[in-house]
Amino acid sequence: MKIKYVRSAGAVVFLAGLWVALSQQPAELTVTKVADDLHVIVGSGGNVAVYTTEEGVILVDDKFEQNVPQILEKVSGLSSKPVKYVLNTHQHGDHTGGNAKLLGHGADVIAHENARANMDRGKMPGLPRVTFTESAGVHLGGKQVKAWHWGAGHTNGDAVIQFPALRTIHTGDLFVAGRPFIDYSSGGSGAAWVKTLDAVLKLDFDTVIPGHGPVMKKADLAEWRKSFATVQSRLLELKRQGKTEQEAGGLLRFDDLPRWESASRLWERSYAGLWRELER
């Protein structure tokens, strides 16, 4: 939008209003194929995995509430069966916003009990009806999906969803194509996160659907985990050198860490907590 050519203040206000209106429209979603029976709906909010079976569809996460009509339209392009289960990777609204509407469509929503507690505390709609603590299995149409929890990371209620037959996992925001967000207000932990990823990496899989970003490989997740550990050891070293939180933030290097190069506001929001967490 070339606002610089608009000279009238009234027109600028109009264009700004139009921009706000356009940005409130649900973004266009696209479908990426992982396997014949597993697809990812990308765009606006977290990645949604769509696992189709003869008896119904299993979703992992459901973006924002306003995305539900388009999610259901994309699902109907992949299967004539209804959505039976939604597994939430954690409580954030860009992963659980569609829960209430999908519960209304007859789906069951499953999440880690801490994720449900976080939603409840935040008065978020669409509370999961089924919870688990360590692991859970969903069996539908001869297929199986497993949910795993190994401790804190992005939040205290993260689940990694495994599609064993497809050697594929959905990590939620425990892995993203960029710097992480450690949600300390929801029990997240940078130190625990690396250990949690060590447990994730012991699973048998090749393909990784991250919480946000393109579908990747196990080696990408291993590399990202290594970068996370490197960032923490660099910060700890700066702390031991007597640097202040602010000085260390300025000195911390990311340029040699793939996918960590770009600054992010969510990382900025995580930094102070991580600094406090180190050497505790």
Could you list the residues that contact Zn ion (CB under 5 A)? 92, 173
String of DSSP letters for 173-189: EEEESSS----GGGT--
Nearer to Zn ion, 37 or 173 (CB): 173
CB of 109 to Zn ion, least distance (A): 16
Any idea which residue has 């999906």 for tokens? 145
CB of 248 to Zn ion, least distance (A): 25
Nearer to Zn ion, 162 or 270 (CB): 270
Beta-carbon-side half-sphere exposure of residue 276 (alpha carbons within 13 Å): 9
Nearer to Zn ion, 128 or 238 (CB): 128
In sequence order, what are the residues at sequence separation of 6 or more whose Cβ sits closer than 8 angstroms to the Cβ of residue 46? 61, 63, 89, 92, 94, 95, 172, 173, 211, 212
CB of 2 to Zn ion, least distance (A): 35
The terminus-to-terminus CA distance of the chain in angstroms comes to: 49
CB of 259 to Zn ion, least distance (A): 17
CB of 17 to Zn ion, least distance (A): 30
Nearer to Zn ion, 53 or 211 (CB): 211
Nearer to Zn ion, 147 or 166 (CB): 147
In sequence order, what are the residues at sequence separation of 6 or more whose Cβ sits closer than 8 angstroms to the Cβ of residue 158? 89, 90, 112, 115, 149, 152, 172, 173, 174, 196
> Residue 84 is encoded by which pair of tokens?
């039976």
